[in-house]
A = this chain, B = another copy of it.
């Protein structure tokens, strides 16, 4: 099914298995998307009690679950790897026979699934319809092969994954439909910012018949006595007027006297219907399905082949390139082909000549994804930072968890500062750093009505947030890390006083340290430790007093900006190592969430203990990341888990903040070559060559950089991007 050698064929994109992450709550979808595309198509199989995981029976954040079997359409805008339901709307569904408008009636099982980069296909069992999908950046392309007879293509605007409802639709002609669907309130936050997604659907064959359906609410009271049609679905045949409602859709019907295909291109925009139409025309015009697919495949291939690997198993390559694929989905394109995009908060339509990116899940992605982008796709990372600064211009604040120009305020901390500083010190400096610094200071110093840093007053007065505030320990740790990033940028910009101030602020997490527990423990308003203290409370995402999505163990070592200080705090190398090892030994380490994902690398900082990092990273990578639908440890978190894997398999990891250093562990591949962008970096490529690599030989015996022995287990960004060649010799015995 997959080609043998990426290096030889150059077809790295053939290694993508789009089903990875579609089980075990990975929350990825198997359908096509162009790199950082606005449009995407996912089979939608989360409605209907037939399904194991059903969207209305439980919290569910993805349009597709591998184990589910009952499909009710193909959604044309989707989020990948997120933890809250949103988008998953504009459901296209081909059927045969009489038009049914209730998805529970027209839904079907399916078979013959194929998922590849830029392509998805299946067969709808009930109808014997072959479905195929591809996508350009802003257009989903649907292709249906119908058997002879009466066939229909439905666009259901009632069904969806998003927390919002209501839509408008209008049949423009027998080959075109336009409309709008409300989406938003991601994580049930910021409902006042719910917003529309606009679309234009163009059909390759004119419908023989068409119509709109609408299921109105059931009226109560006096009126209900007279309405014979109360709450009933209406079929509005040949209706070409605007229809608005909570539960509406359109059908296009055909009479085929032989097997026939119909292609439906759906242009998307967050600005207007007119722009959706322009996106459709400019991107896909008269192109065939195959042409669009080929172009998108080539885009994927070109981006994925920026990293070439040798050695490893086929599954290793699949896991690796699928992970890289997943890091190239979000942040994604928000602007239309003409440059228009909805500004955040202002209500205005902005325009950009670059790409305006959206979907910044920064609490996740500040930890490794943006670092990976800076290394492999620095131009993209530069545009992402510019997008963040444009958001500051528009909204007055840097983003926290931005989604289609709404600030969802999901999660805690002030992660934008960390991303910007890291980008800057990596040498990507073609953005307005002064504005960036001003923006960072604003959220770090505004005491009142500060949406990014609630609790800042306590933080500045005590050094920490207190019990009663949201996740006081975690949030303080996040503020510390952000403050350190500000300190680093201050230093870069020659602002020595700011450097000192923020450096000092960044270490206040010390105050949580309880040496009896050797853990960070919440404090009350009066300064006393919170009682009773249960270090295990908060595992498995349970809500708890001190921590966000984690417990005291999972947050114990989250000081990526101060690893050496943290080791000292924990009683020095040996004591620290013991405590950290205990986290792993007692199964408190959670691979499925972000707070502790850098911890496996902390052993590298203690002399003689780096073998533990080598061992654990390899174990985690092979245990949690596999070539199967459940092959992600949990939510991909818009590529953060995938970025972790790419680094882990390559043998380097940007574990710390502000020092521009990669921790080295044992690579999975014999050779990893990362092409460098000459606009930003002087080297042509980075090579990581591994010798004596085997499953057994997981321990580093020696490291050479550019043919010279390397002391320790880290390498700087600068050393690598100058064209560094790392040679890592492995063996079966740990070096202690």
CB-CB nearest in chain B for A171: B347
Interface check A198, CB cutoff 8 A: yes
Interface check A58, CB cutoff 8 A: yes
1/0 contact string of A192-216 vs chain B (CB within 8 Å):
1111101000000000000000101
Q: How far is the CA of A180 from the CA of B198 in the complex (A)?
A: 16
The count of identical subunits is 2
Assuming A168-B244, A182-B245, A191-B234, is B223 touching A163 (CB within 8 A)? yes
1/0 contact string of A233-270 vs chain B (CB within 8 Å):
01111111111111000000000000000000000000
Q: How far is the CA of A245 from the CA of B180 in the complex (A)?
A: 12
Assuming A58-B222, A229-B191, A237-B192, is B342 touching A167 (CB within 8 A)? no
Taking CB atoms, residues of chain B closer than 8 Å to A238 are 345-347
Interface check A695, CB cutoff 8 A: no
Taking CB atoms, residues of chain B closer than 8 Å to A347 are 171, 238-241
A59 touching B234, Cβ below 8 Å? no
Taking CB atoms, residues of chain B closer than 8 Å to A168 are 168, 180, 242, 244
Q: How far is the CA of A234 from the CA of B189 in the complex (A)?
A: 12
B244 touching A166, Cβ below 8 Å? yes
Interface check A104, CB cutoff 8 A: no
Q: How far is the CA of A214 from the CA of B244 in the complex (A)?
A: 14
Nearest CB in chain B: distance from A49 CB, A: 12
1/0 contact string of A136-171 vs chain B (CB within 8 Å):
000000000000000000000000000111111001
CB-CB nearest in chain B for A345: B238
Nearest CB in chain B: distance from A433 CB, A: 30
Interface check A517, CB cutoff 8 A: no
A166 touching B245, Cβ below 8 Å? yes
Q: How far is the CA of A252 from the CA of B588 in the complex (A)?
A: 55
Interface check A532, CB cutoff 8 A: no
Interface check A528, CB cutoff 8 A: no
Q: How far is the CA of A223 from the CA of B84 in the complex (A)?
A: 12
B196 touching A243, Cβ below 8 Å? yes
Nearest CB in chain B: distance from A50 CB, A: 17
Assuming A229-B191, A234-B191, is B241 touching A166 (CB within 8 A)? no
A165 touching B216, Cβ below 8 Å? yes
Taking CB atoms, residues of chain B closer than 8 Å to A216 are 164-166
A217 touching B198, Cβ below 8 Å? no
Q: A56-B222, A164-B216, A180-B242 are in contact. List 10 more A-B contacts (CB 8 A).
A: A57-B222, A59-B222, A168-B242, A171-B347, A182-B243, A188-B228, A198-B242, A240-B348, A241-B342, A244-B244
30 A/B residue pairs, CB under 8 Å, sorted by A: A56-B223, A57-B222, A164-B216, A165-B217, A166-B244, A167-B244, A168-B168, A168-B180, A180-B244, A182-B245, A188-B227, A188-B228, A188-B229, A192-B235, A192-B236, A192-B237, A193-B236, A194-B234, A194-B236, A195-B241, A196-B241, A196-B242, A196-B244, A198-B242, A217-B246, A238-B345, A238-B346, A240-B347, A244-B244, A246-B246
Chain A residues with CB under 8 Å of chain B are 56-59, 163-168, 171, 180, 182, 185, 188, 191-196, 198, 214, 216-217, 221-223, 226-229, 234-246, 342, 345-348
